[in-house]
């Protein structure tokens, strides 16, 4: 259900230069109080984190455990029970390894549990407001949670450009739903599909770990970049707006996912609708931040839906790095990767829709991204700040 538009969408911002536990705690308290602390009635909070893969916190792939600790400590101190969870990317079913590598496992204690969002099953959801999905299969735990805090990591994303609050909710769907969204071969359709999922059950509050963000070709193989902020707010699109400004976007609505969300009326359509508390807008950008490679923003608006035809970012195997684990074949939404068990993967270029899920999920970085001439130019323009 679309909430009535407030006079202003409030986003709280606080500087945070490191993951020192006390510094994170202080900054989080500031950001939340500036945004307006949420009222939690049922005494139970689900923290939807970003636990994409079993990656160490300093790689900036996942929400840092110190941020999760600070949120859960605050919730517990107010008498709430807390569960921290996510659906990792498709195939990382080794829960113990995932929780250990990301540091999330160490957060479990009295009043705080951790796990996978799928551990209570999923159910099918249909919604008259869907634009591209017919139905979605979504985590029961997420749908039934009385209060959800969306604890997103600020990252670039080679398909959606930015991964933050709205994109983080994509992880509440099951593998089949996510594969279907990625198999569309259109960035515009993917953006609408992610927004369809988001509107099913928008989170009640959002916190962004933008202390160490990811730049370049995220969300798995970009580079960590210190950005030094914690953001908070009730409206995910408003918080994502501020997060995109940290990434040096002058007009966040040029990002297809942000435009799709704004067109649904689920948040601000103009910066004047956002009240940023705790910072001036021109303090946010991290100078020199490298955006993801994508020509979409450089194309005229009427061509953006067809961008995939012009920009060929395609997967390319680096054999020396491949451990022949078969993960890429399992994540491919259109079964374009073949090969015997234990053999090197082979990509069928006719069927490949260039979603780059194989690149995102390859555990060794062996499935690299090959850029065509136009994409390479776009990358250079971005490095020079265009």
Binding site for ligand SF4 (CB under 6 A): 315, 317, 322-328, 331-332, 334, 336-337, 345, 347, 352-358, 362, 364, 366-367
Q: Phi/psi at 382 (nearest 5 deg)?
A: -65, -40
Query: In whole angstroms, how close is the CB of 318 to ligand SF4 at the nearest point?
Result: 8
Shortest Cβ 52–ligand SF4 spacing (Å): 15
The whole-angstrom distance between residue 29's C-alpha and the CA centroid of its chain comes to 23
Nearer to ligand SF4, 25 or 182 (CB): 182
CB 193 within 8 A of CB 181: yes
Nearest distance in Å: CB 189, ligand SF4: 14
Within 201-292, residue ranges assigned H as helices are: 236-246, 256-263
For β-strands 122-125 and 223-233, DSSP reports them as unpaired
Measured distance between the N- and C-terminal CA atoms of the chain, rounded to whole angstroms: 38
Shorter beta-carbon distance to ligand SF4: residue 248 or 322 = 322
Q: Specify the 3-state DSSP secondary structure of 323.
A: coil
Query: For residues 76 and 330, which CB has a smaller minimum distance to ligand SF4 in the complex?
Result: 330
- Nearest to ligand SF4 of 202, 333 (CB atom): 333
For residue 219, cis peptide bond before it (omega within 30 degrees of 0)? yes
Which C-beta is closer to ligand SF4: that of 28 or that of 336?
A: 336
CB of residue 187 to ligand SF4, shortest distance in Å: 13
Q: Provide the 3-class DSSP secondary structure of residue 202.
A: coil
Q: How far is the CB of 302 from ligand SF4 (least distance, A)?
A: 26
* Dist CA 344 CA 317 (whole Å): 9
What whole-number distance in Å separates Cα of residue 217 and Cα of residue 224?
11
- Residue placing its CB nearer to ligand SF4 in the complex, 12 or 183: 183
- Smallest gap from Cβ 349 to ligand SF4, in A, equals 8
What is the distance between the alpha carbons of residues 216 and 286, in angstroms, rounded to a whole number? 13
Contacts of 242 (CB under 8 A, 6+ apart): 11, 13, 231, 233, 274, 276, 284
Q: Which residue's CB is nearer to ligand SF4, number 144 or number 340? A: 340
CB of 53 to ligand SF4, least distance (A): 11
Which residue matches tokens 């991204």?
369
Indicate the angle between helix axes 256-263 and 236-246, nearest 10 degrees.
Answer: 150
Quick one: CA torsion of 60, 175, 231, 115, rounded to 10 degrees?
-80
The residue among 82 and 358 lying less far from ligand SF4, judged by its C-beta, is 358
The CA-atom distances, in angstroms, between 236 and each of 86, 258, 264, 274, 307 are 18, 10, 13, 12, 26
User: Residue 129 and residue 110: Cα distance in Å, rounded?
Assistant: 40
Instruction: Say how far apart CA 245 and CA 250 lie, in whole Å.
Output: 6
Select 236 or 328, whichever has its Cβ closest to ligand SF4. Answer: 328
Residue 46 CA to residue 72 CA, distance in Å, equals 10
- Of 135 and 346, the one with the shorter C-beta distance to ligand SF4 is 346
Minimum CB distance to ligand SF4, residue 335 (Å)? 8
């Amino acid at each position: 259900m679309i909430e009535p538009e407030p006079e202003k969408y409030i986003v709280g911002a606080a500087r945070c230069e490191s993951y020192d536990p006390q510094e994170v705690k202080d900054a989080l308290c500031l950001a939340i109080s500036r945004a307006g602390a949420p009222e939690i009635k049922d005494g139970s909070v689900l923290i939807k984190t970003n636990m994409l893969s079993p990656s160490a916190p300093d790689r900036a792939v996942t929400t840092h455990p110190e941020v999760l600790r600070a949120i859960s400590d605050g919730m517990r101190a107010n008498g709430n029970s807390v569960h921290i969870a996510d659906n990792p990317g498709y195939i990382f079913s080794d829960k113990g390894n995932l929780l250990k590598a990301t540091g999330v496992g160490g957060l479990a204690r009295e009043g705080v549990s951790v796990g996978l969002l799928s551990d209570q099953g999923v159910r099918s959801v249909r919604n008259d407001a869907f634009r591209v999905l017919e139905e979605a299969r979504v985590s029961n735990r997420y749908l039934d949670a009385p209060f959800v805090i969306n604890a997103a990591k600020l990252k670039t994303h080679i398909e959606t450009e930015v991964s933050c609050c709205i994109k983080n909710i994509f992880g509440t769907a099951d593998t089949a739903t996510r594969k279907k969204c990625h198999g569309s071969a259109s960035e515009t359709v993917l953006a609408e599909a992610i927004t369809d999922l988001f509107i099913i059950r928008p989170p009640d509050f959002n916190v962004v770990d933008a202390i160490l963000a990811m730049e370049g070709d995220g969300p798995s193989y970009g580079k960590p970049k210190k950005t030094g902020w914690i953001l908070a707010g009730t409206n995910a699109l408003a918080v994502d707006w501020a997060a995109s400004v940290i990434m040096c976007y002058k007009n966040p609505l040029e990002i297809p996912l942000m435009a799709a969300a704004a067109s649904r009326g689920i948040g601000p359509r103009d910066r004047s609708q956002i009240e940023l508390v705790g910072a001036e807008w021109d303090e946010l950008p991290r100078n020199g931040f490298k955006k993801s490679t994508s020509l979409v923003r450089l194309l005229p608006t009427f061509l953006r839906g067809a961008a995939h035809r012009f920009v060929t970012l395609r997967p390319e195997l680096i054999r020396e790095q491949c451990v022949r684990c078969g993960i890429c074949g399992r994540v491919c939404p259109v079964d374009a990767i073949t090969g015997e068990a234990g053999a090197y993967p082979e990509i069928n270029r006719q069927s490949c829709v260039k979603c780059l899920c194989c690149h995102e999920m390859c555990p060794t970085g062996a499935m690299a991204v090959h850029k065509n001439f136009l994409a390479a130019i776009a990358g250079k323009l971005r490095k020079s700040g265009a």
